[in-house]
Structure 1
Amino acid sequence: MIVSYGVANLLQSVAAARTTVHHTFDPGLLIRLAGHRTYLLGLGCQVAGFALAFLARRDLPLFLVQASVAAGLGVTAVLGVLLLNWRLPGAEVVLLVLLFAGIAALVLAAQPAPARPLGTSAQVVLVAVLALVAVGGVFAVRLHGALGSVVLGSLAGMSFSAAAVAARPLASAGSVATLVTDPLLYLLVAHSIVGQLLLGLAMQRGSTTAAVAAMDAAGAVPAAIVGLLLLGDRVWPGREWLAGTGFLVTLIAVIGLTRYAEPQHHHEVADRRERPLPVALRVGRDPS
């Protein structure tokens, strides 16, 4: 899951940077991005990561799974350095090390357990969150640069966090019929689409690292709290301190990455010829 999300972030950022910048909350951006084979390849990696995360949420607490999603940021950064000549300041390297240390602590602290079901009132709250995030996106798209990346990335994280909350009990569905008739499935899909649109807009406005780090930071905390309070997520007895420390270190690392991240690519207007991609990334490009 971590590797899949890391590769997806990189490929989708390349496509987003080569697409005309959108200044409105326009779903048409996803259609334009779908015209890039690089983006579609990245989307395929993201779907694979999503499927693996869905299976993990069947038994693992959300504080572990959502924090592990953040570790994909490290894979993105390393691949960016190797393939796209990204530059990582020393502070970012330290934060990435802390990120993986925090994930390791959470792995040791998490106790597997099935999720409790969500009631109707909780589902109504998920609908309200969807509406609030969409309205926030309409206003946030007017922001530019690093601020736009962070705000839009944070909104994307909130939407993906709500999707994770819906997925945790949904992953325990006993049959396909139960799965397709559960309202949580459609809330999961709706939140995922809105989150994907917001993430694409965030990646257009500055640093991929900033956008993804903001998304991970905003997505980890709400899901972790809801999981512990409502879904029956558990920590091994005596390891509460390890879970708290690991989650705090992970959160500090992803928030810190939004502070030190610098723009890694520049936008190209539609009438300019695209720069060639590195050989390692041309597999997803049109022959022209």
Structure 2
Amino acid sequence: MTTMEKEFHPKSGYLMLAAWFILVAATISLLILTESPWYAIGFLPIVLIMPGFIVVNPNESAVLILFGKYMGTIKRNGFFWTNPFYLKKRISLRARNFNSEPIKVNDKVGNPIMIGLVLVWRVKDTYKASFEVDEYEHFVVVQSDAALRKLAGMFPYDNFEHEEEEITLRAGGEVVNHKLENELIERLTIAGIQVIEARINYIAYASEIAGAMLRRQQATAVVAARSKIVEGAVGMVQMALDQLSQKQIVDLDEEKKAAMVSNLMVVLCSDESARPIVNAGTLHQ
């Protein structure tokens, strides 16, 4: 029993078409000349020959079945003639796009997210696509959904809570897409489907937590910015104290140094511009 695709080489359709016209002309001529109804039997092969003609367009195929038996697949494009009793099932070999609607799933740490994919695929093995699964196009849709759900459970959306995670869905890029491709290849091979490319095309937090997560991201960004500002301000204060000490511009005791550091830090780290106050007295007033 055949369990793999085999290519079928049909006869030229043009030769059979010429023979069909000759048969039609001969049958009609004999009926007219002899006026014998027995020659009408010639219409039987004429009718039987017609279903055998088939046109296969570029990047298309025709799976041939004879009384439940797989006979082969026509992959060459052109005009052909085959056994008229063959059942012909057409399958496109063109590349196709599947753009999934975003689905709600939980990531590795349990956060609900919305995620979608775009898949470029085509039929590679017409036998598997025809006989190993029911409705291979629907099979692609269902398995793509399952692969996307599995992928989402393997990685966190981001690493705000788990900083040790190097790969995340949001920033994983090619690593995550490659993992998705491998998962789809493993699932769709049974249907004779070739995965050309698979990528995540949409990812976001689910609506019920999107606001909270946005505030968390904003807070994280503010903390990171403040840390950078403080780090720079400390360096500037240190440089100012070193310059004053080296050039002996003014001699400051520890108390005045502490006051100066406090004032500089306030000026450098403040959100608003500093408003200078002119001291008309001495440094002690």
Q: Same fold (TM over 0.5)?
A: no
The TM-score, its normalising length taken from structure 2, stands at 0.22
Whose helix proportion is higher, 1 or 2?
1
The TM-score, its normalising length taken from structure 1, stands at 0.22
Instruction: Between the two structures, name the one with larger relative contact order (CA 8 Å, sep ≥ 6).
Output: 1
Whose strand proportion is higher, 1 or 2?
2
Bigger Rg, which one: 2
